[in-house]
Structure 1
Amino acid sequence: MSNDRTLTLGHSPDSDDAFMFYGLASGKVSNRGWRFKHVIKDIQSLNELALAGTLDITAISVHAYALVADSYSIMTMGASMGDGYGPIIIARSPLTRERLMDSRIAIPGLLTSACLAMQLWLDKPARDIDMLVVPFDKVFQVVSDGEADAGLIIHEGQITYNEHGFHLCIDLGKWWKDLTGLPLPLGINVIKNLFNHTEQSEITEILRDSVIYGLNHLPEAIEYAKQYSRGLNTNKVEQFVSLYVNKWTVDLGEEGKRAIELFLNRAQEKGFIQMSGPIKFV
Structure 2
Amino acid sequence: MTSEQRLRIAYSPCPNDTFVFDALAHGRVPGAPALDVTFADIDLTNGMAERGEFDVLKVSYAVLPYVLDRYALLPCGGALGRGCGPLVLTREPGLGGTSHAFGSGGLTGRTVAVPSERSTAYLLFRLWAADTLPGGVGEIVVLPFHEIMPAVRDGKVDAGLVIHEARFTYQNYGLHKLADMGEHWESTTGLPIPLGAIIARRSLGPDTLTALASAIRSSVQAAWDAPEISRPYVMAHAQEMDPAVADQHIGLYVNAFTADLGEAGYAAVRGLLTRAAAEGLVPALGPESLAFP
Partner deviation per Cα, 1:82-121 (whole Å, 9 max, x = no partner): 3033110100012243321321001111111101100000
Closer, same or farther in 2 for the Cα pair 1:121/1:281, shift >3 Å? Answer: farther
Q: What is the one-letter code of the residue matched to 1:110?
A: E
Partner deviation per Cα, 1:6-51 (whole Å, 9 max, x = no partner): 211111111111111111122222243x222111111111000100
Give 1:137 shift.
Answer: 0.4
Residue of structure 2 equivalent to 1:91: 90
1:212 aligns with 2:194: no
8 Å CA contact 1:84–1:176 kept in 2: the answer is no
Residue aligned with 2:209, SS: helix
Closer, same or farther in 2 for the Cα pair 1:31/1:107, shift >3 Å? Answer: farther
1:187 to 196, 205, 216: 196
Structure 2: distance between partners of 1:2 and 1:215: 25
Residue of structure 1 equivalent to 2:291: 280
Please report the TM-score for the alignment, with normalisation by the length of structure 2.
Answer: 0.90
Where do 1:149-164 residues align within 5 Å? 149-164=158-173
Give 1:179 shift.
Answer: 1.1
Structure 2: distance between partners of 1:200 and 1:275: 24
Where do 1:96-175 residues align within 5 Å? 96=96, 97-98=102-103, 99-123=106-130, 129-175=138-184
8 Å CA contact 1:69–1:275 kept in 2: the answer is no
Residue aligned with 1:36, SS: strand
Give 1:276 shift.
Answer: 6.2
Q: What is the one-letter code of the residue matched to 1:280?
A: A
Structure 2: distance between partners of 1:232 and 1:35: 28
8 Å CA contact 2:72–2:290 kept in 1: the answer is yes
Residue of structure 2 equivalent to 1:11: 11
Residue aligned with 1:194, SS: helix
Q: What is the one-letter code of the residue matched to 1:117?
A: L
Residue of structure 2 equivalent to 1:62: 61
Q: Which runs of 5+ in 2 are unaligned?
A: 97-101
Residue aligned with 1:73, SS: strand
Give 1:4 shift.
Answer: 5.1
Residue aligned with 2:168, SS: helix
Structure 1: distance between partners of 2:3 and 2:56: 14
Give 1:129 shift.
Answer: 4.7
Q: What is the one-letter code of the residue matched to 1:243?
A: L
Structure 1: distance between partners of 2:232 and 2:145: 23
Q: Which runs of 5+ in 1 are unaligned?
A: none
Closer, same or farther in 2 for the Cα pair 1:242/1:24, shift >3 Å? Answer: same
1:221 aligns with 2:230: yes
Structure 1: distance between partners of 2:31 and 2:48: 24
Residue aligned with 1:29, SS: coil
Give 1:266 shift.
Answer: 0.8
Give 1:197 shift.
Answer: 1.3
Give 1:128 shift.
Answer: 6.7
8 Å CA contact 2:81–2:257 kept in 1: the answer is no
Residue aligned with 2:107, SS: helix
Residue of structure 2 equivalent to 1:198: 207
8 Å CA contact 2:108–2:138 kept in 1: the answer is yes
Partner deviation per Cα, 1:44-96 (whole Å, 9 max, x = no partner): 11000100011111100000111111111110111211303311010001224
8 Å CA contact 2:10–2:58 kept in 1: the answer is yes
Q: What is the one-letter code of the residue matched to 2:277?
A: Q
Give 1:232 shift.
Answer: 2.4
Please report the TM-score for the alignment, with normalisation by the length of structure 1.
Answer: 0.93
Residue aligned with 2:125, SS: helix
Give 1:231 shift.
Answer: 2.2
Q: What is the one-letter code of the residue matched to 1:156?
A: E
Give 1:253 shift.
Answer: 0.7
Q: Cα RMSD (Å) of the superposition?
A: 2.0
Residue of structure 2 equivalent to 1:36: 35
Partner deviation per Cα, 1:200-220 (whole Å, 9 max, x = no partner): 101111111111111111223
Structure 2: distance between partners of 1:86 and 1:155: 9
